[in-house]
Amino acid sequence: MNISSTHEQSPAAIPFDTGRLDGLMEDAGIDVVLATSKHNTQYLLGGYRFIFFSAMDAIGHSRYLPVVAYERGRTDHAAYIANRMEGGEHANHPFWTPTLHPATWTSWEAAELAVEHVRTIGKENARIGIEPGFLPVDAYKIIAAGLPNASLVDATAMLERLRAVKTPEELEKLRHASEMITDAMQATIGWAGEGTSKRAIIERLRQEETQRGLQFEYCLLTLGPSHNRAASDQTWNAGEVLSIDSGGNFRGYIGDLCRMGILGEPDPELEGLLGEVDAVQQAAFSKVKAGAAGGALIEAGQARLASSQIAAFTDFFAHGMGLITHEAPFLMTNHPVTYEGVDVNRQLEAGMVISVETTMLHPKRGFIKLEDTLAVTDTGYEMYGDRGRGWNRGAA
The 10 Å Cβ neighbour count of residue 261 is 25
Distance CA 315, CA 317 (A): 7
Q: Does the predicted TM-score (pTM) go above 0.85?
A: yes
Burial class (CB in 10 A: 0-12, 13-18, 19+), 33: buried
Whether the CA torsion 297, 302, 308, 309 is positive or negative: it is: positive
> Which stretches does DSSP call E strand in 18-143?
32-35, 58-59, 62-63, 67-71, 74-83, 99-104, 127-130
Give alpha helix (H) positions in 225-339: 268-285, 294-306
The answer to whether the beta carbons of residues 283 and 303 sit under 8 Å apart is: yes
CA distance 378 to 367: 35
* CB proximity list for 82: less than 8 A, separation 6 or greater: 50, 66, 89, 90, 100, 101, 102, 103, 104
How many degrees, rounded to 5, is the angle at CA 244 between CA 241 and CA 248? 170
pLDDT (tens place) for every residue of the chain, 396 residues total: 333 344 444 457 999 999 999 999 999 999 999 999 999 999 999 999 999 998 899 999 999 999 999 999 999 999 999 999 999 999 999 999 999 999 999 999 999 999 999 999 999 999 999 999 999 999 999 999 999 999 999 999 999 999 999 999 999 999 999 999 999 999 999 999 999 999 999 999 999 999 999 999 999 999 999 999 999 999 999 999 999 999 999 999 999 999 999 999 999 999 999 999 999 999 999 999 999 999 999 999 999 999 999 999 999 999 999 999 999 999 999 999 999 999 999 999 999 999 999 999 999 999 999 999 999 999 999 999 999 999 999 998
CA dihedral 305, 306, 311, 315 (to 10 degrees): 60
CB 108 within 8 A of CB 139: yes
Report which DSSP code applies to 166.
Answer: P
- What domains sit in the chain, N to C, each tagged with a CATH number? 7-163 (3.40.350.10), 168-393 (3.90.230.10)
Q: How far is CA 305 from the centre of its chain?
A: 27
